[in-house]
Chain A
Amino acid sequence: MNDDDRELREMFARLRREDHAHVPPFRLPAAHPVSPWAMPMKVAAAAAVILVAVVLAIPDSGQRRPPVQLVDLGDAAWHSPTDFLLSTPGRELLRTMPTIGSPRGWTPIEPQGLSPASESIRTRRKPS
């Protein structure tokens, strides 16, 4: 302990002596009388709260619902509301087998008003 500590301790000791001269006399606090019913009342209140919570948490089973109509599944026919999306144009072509060669009754269309250059290309492609 250095001199500064000693000086501080002396100051605190003086304050302590002065404080002790003004300490109020010791007296025990007036105890609150505890009612013998306090505990049972607390338990009853807690039980009531739990009961109310349970009653509120249970779903209302007595609620009236519309009567269920029985349906004979043998008579039932169901169609999807989106069936029309499957009816694409030309779907009959997708369901038939394609044939090799020109179809019967097919006649080529003669082009009209072609330029000389395109005419020469057409004639060159024709087998002689």
Chain B
Amino acid sequence: MGIARASVEAELERNHADCFAWAMACCGRDRNEAEDVLQASYLKVLDGRAVFGSRSNVKTWLFGVIRRTAAEHRRWRALRRLRFTPLAERADPSADPAAMLAESDSSARLISTLATLPERQRQVMHLVFYQDLTIAQAAEVLGISLGTARTHYERGKQRLRELLKLEDVR
């Protein structure tokens, strides 16, 4: 079932802040890359390359589009880096300290701890705790089963607690 363009634009604007945060989470908190991914995702939605299925709500659908676009973007960038950058100049894009800068110590600690989790666990943590989605909705966004999402949720939460407690001890 399609949605009228005007209502799609309204939905995009309404969810823009959450979509940007999710794009940041999918891009290892690289702001520039997140903005590119978000624009590419909006373009897909507006020109009809991403089609809304009635099985999901608009927010989880948008998040799914952003996740897939970020993955495509990452593959494309990796390919470009391999083809055009000499080996010595290759750097880890996620290790940009400016991108990791956060206002409070607590947020900086959370971001650095989240970065140590496996990607799936990190994404589930973000969707459930940051975006206030249910585990079922998180599973829908990530295209995985509910059981798998629940496993990632439990393991991610446990690991996050352990790491945050370890940092408290230090």
Contact = CB atoms under 8 A, between A and B. Distances in A.
A18 B103 contact: yes
Interface stretch (A8-16, A86-94, A100-108, A120-128): A8-16
Contacts of B46: 28-29, 31
Contacts of A16: 21, 130
Contacts of A9: 129
Nearest to B158: A4
Contacts of A29: 39-40, 42-43, 46
B107 A18 contact: yes
A20 interface: yes
A23 interface: yes
A8 B161 contact: yes
Give chain A's interface secondary structure class.
helix
Nearest to A26: B16
A24 interface: yes
**At the interface, is chain B mostly helix, strand, loop or mixed?**
helix
B35 interface: yes
For chain A, the bracket of interface size reads: 20 to 34
B52 interface: no
A16 B129 CA distance: 10
Most chain A beta-carbon contacts within 10 A, residue among B43, B106, B107:
B107
Given A8-B160, A18-B107, A20-B17, A28 B42 contact: yes
A14 B104 contact: yes
Contacts of B107: 11, 14-15, 18
A56 to B, nearest CB: 33
A29 B9 CA distance: 11
B139 interface: no
Given A12-B130, A29-B42, A24 B104 contact: no
A8 B157 contact: yes
